[in-house]
């Protein structure tokens, strides 16, 4: 309290000086009695008119004192802050407010530039704001008829692996060929694609010390499928006999790309060593890959 009183006395020395002097005078009982007696005599001598004048003077002196105004300001300051901030509750910004915020940012950034008179006349027009939503990818209306599957199979595992092909193949809808190394037994009305024998690859040199020579035949599946000369082909999709394609997803993905451009769509290998050798930039046949045409 003493520190608060000293602070107020330093801010308002005149008001604090009067109050302190009155307190000192009244602290003495003798002075208090003299003051009361003097005040009582003064009240007797006052007329009603003088009383009114004195009351008006006291009111004016009260209004001129800075202390009441200071307390009023401190009382109304929190109310003013609450009203300007909306009660402390922040409403979520909608899309229109986001656009308005972007337009304000654009106007602030361009405020330093000098505007032409014609531009100042057209300030009422709404500013162009770039869209916050990403553009939808362009679709090229690719359908299942534009896709041809080339499937590499082995005669040794054919009786087991053909069941994988039956799970996703759609007779009379999907187009494709199974390329196999030897002739296998077939049954009528099986839900399987056309089966063809791969060309002889014995004339090709194979010098890899670890791999299998069948990789030469498998790598030629796309070439042999292309040489069939099928009409209306946009994409050649290569896969193994144990690869299960989700046909609708394949078509949807390929529809995002322009088949007239050079595209090689696929996924990296599951083997980390293979990805290191090929810098993660080669699609492997285990999950299938597509080549534009």
Q: What is the 8-class DSSP label of residue 119? A: H
Element (H, E) at 290: strand 289-292
Q: Rounded distance, CA 166 to CA 30, Å?
A: 120
Q: In the block, which residue shows the tokens 């082995």?
A: 154
Tell which CATH classification among 3.90.550.50, 3.30.465.10, 3.40.50.10800, 3.30.300.130 matches the domain 144-202+212-292.
3.90.550.50
Most distant CA pair in the chain: distance in Å? 140
pLDDT 10s per residue in the chain (293 long)? 455 455 555 555 544 444 444 444 444 544 554 455 554 554 444 444 555 555 556 656 656 677 777 878 778 777 777 765 554 445 555 544 444 444 444 444 444 444 454 555 555 666 666 656 556 667 789 999 999 999 999 999 999 999 999 999 999 999 999 999 999 998 888 999 999 999 988 888 888 888 788 888 888 999 999 999 999 999 999 999 999 999 999 999 999 999 999 999 988 888 888 788 877 777 776 678 999 99
**% of the chain with per-residue pLDDT over 90:** 34
Q: Rounded distance, CA 180 to CA 138, Å?
A: 37
Beta-carbon neighbour count of residue 240 at 10 Å? 18
Q: In the block, which residue shows the tokens 């802050």?
A: 81
Cα→Cα distances 242→62, 154, 239, 253, Å: 98, 10, 8, 21
Residue 40: phi, psi to the nearest 5?
-70, -40
Residue 228 exposure: Cα atoms within 13 Å on the Cβ side: 25
Q: Which residues contact 101 (CB under 8 A, 6 or more apart)?
A: 93
Judged by DSSP in three states, 239 sits in strand
Q: What digits encode the pLDDT tens for the residues 164-202?
A: 999 999 999 999 999 999 999 988 889 999 999 999 888
- Residue ranges per domain, the chain? 2-86, 144-202+212-292
pTM above 0.75, yes or no: no
Q: Rounded distance, CA 243 to CA 250, Å?
A: 13
Burial classification of residue 65, based on how many CB atoms lie within 10 Å of its CB (0-12 exposed, 13-18 middle, 19 or more buried): middle
Q: Rounded distance, CA 264 to CA 164, Å?
A: 24
Dihedral angle computed from the Cα positions of residues 176, 182, 185 and 186, in that order, rounded to the nearest 10 degrees: 10
């Amino acid at each position: 309290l003493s520190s608060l009183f000293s602070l107020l006395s330093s801010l308002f020395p005149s008001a604090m000086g009067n109050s302190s002097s009155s307190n000192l005078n009244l602290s003495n009982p003798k002075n208090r009695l003299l003051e009361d007696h003097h005040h009582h005599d003064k009240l007797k001598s006052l007329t009603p008119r003088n009383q009114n004048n004195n009351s008006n003077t006291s009111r004016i002196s009260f209004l001129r004192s800075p202390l009441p105004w200071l307390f009023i300001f401190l009382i109304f300051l929190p109310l003013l802050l609450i009203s300007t901030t909306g009660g402390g509750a922040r409403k979520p910004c909608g899309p229109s407010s986001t656009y308005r915020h972007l337009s304000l940012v654009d106007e602030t950034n361009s405020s330093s530039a000098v505007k032409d008179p014609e531009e100042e006349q057209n300030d009422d027009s709404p500013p162009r704001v770039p869209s916050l939503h990403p553009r939808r990818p362009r679709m090229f209306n690719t359908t299942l008829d534009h896709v041809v599957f080339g499937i590499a199979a082995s005669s040794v595992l054919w009786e087991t692996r053909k069941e994988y092909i039956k799970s996703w193949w759609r007779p009379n809808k999907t187009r494709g060929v199974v390329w196999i190394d030897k002739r296998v037994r077939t049954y009528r009305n099986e839900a399987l694609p056309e089966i063809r024998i791969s060309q002889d690859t014995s004339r090709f040199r194979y010098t890899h010390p670890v791999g299998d020579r069948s990789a030469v035949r498998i790598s030629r599946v796309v070439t042999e499928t292309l040489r069939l000369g099928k009409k209306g082909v946009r994409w050649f999709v290569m896969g193994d006999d144990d690869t299960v394609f989700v046909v609708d997803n394949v078509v949807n993905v390929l529809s995002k790309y322009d088949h007239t451009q050079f595209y090689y769509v696929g996924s990296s290998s599951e083997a980390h060593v293979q990805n290191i050798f090929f810098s993660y930039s080669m699609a492997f046949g285990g999950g299938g890959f597509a080549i534009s045409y």
